[in-house]
Structure 1
């Protein structure tokens, strides 16, 4: 299924991504007192308000390019009033298949959290035993089952 543009990770200016990734690497590997100018430049170019500590440990968890793409995608992540069940299922399918770049999977996860109002949907996808509290992480749910369960849970929360 093709997703509409608002459900796809934003198309970014590659030269801006490269420049911000360089700055992120300098800040991540630098000292706070020596990277204030880079931090100010990063925030100005990314329209962000990050602190030095936000950059610490990026290198150990992911590459700077991916991290920058995730930061730049934040303004595009939104709750939609007209999202459809098939669209939610397709995003879950894409996350589960994990054959897209990490920043795209992260975008879809955030969109799923916002649009199902379930901050634990990643547990349901990857660690269902944690989600259900029974420790059984061997079960494999289909994308359709994931969406049904999370929407049912969201419905029960709004009825209380």
Structure 2
């Protein structure tokens, strides 16, 4: 199934990626170099205004433990909250199927899913599968059926009203 443009990973111009990467490095250098809390806070405020993302300070000095600068910059250059008001069940199923299948851009699809369903731990429904209880996924599995079950469970979630 093809996804409409609002759900697909947006392309980011190389110049924008370079600009965001430079901002990440600058903030990291300010933090590591003791640039003063005022300089760090000003750089963070500028970065937040330019990207819409509200990363904690630690993200700028610890990102290299789990991703590259290019991956961090790509995430930061894309929308922080890709909410699609009229997303359909079929689109959600396709997004989950792509995540399960290991298609390109799983981080983007997981963000879109997380933003567009109410379940507070939808990623646990995907990645918290128990190999003993659910069985491991393999190439022959019906990924569509598994994706449908995950979307149904995520969609059935209702927050507790206090």
TM interval, shorter chain, is 0.7 to 0.9
Task: Assess if the C-alpha contact under 8 Å between 1:58 and 1:64 holds in 2.
Answer: yes
CA displacement 1:56-94 (0-9 Å, x = unmatched) = 2011110112112212323451142x2222211211122
Between structures 1 and 2, the one with greater helix share: 1
Q: CA RMSD in A?
A: 3.2
Task: Assess if the C-alpha contact under 8 Å between 2:20 and 2:77 holds in 1.
Answer: no
CA displacement 1:13-35 (0-9 Å, x = unmatched) = 22111122133134335526326
Partner of 1:19: 19
Partner of 2:73: 68
Q: How does 1:1-160 map to 2 (within 5 A)?
A: 1-28=1-28, 30-31=31-32, 33-34=34-35, 36=40, 39=44, 42-50=47-55, 52-75=57-80, 77-80=82-85, 82-100=86-104, 104-129=105-130, 136=133, 138-140=135-137, 142-155=143-156, 157=158
The count of residues paired between Structure 1 and Structure 2 equals 152
Q: CA deviation at 1:108?
A: 0.9
Q: 1:113 to 1:49 in 2, by over 3 A?
A: closer
Q: CA deviation at 1:53?
A: 2.8
CA displacement 1:112-137 (0-9 Å, x = unmatched) = 122232232222222213xxxx9746
The normalised TM-score by structure 1 is: 0.73
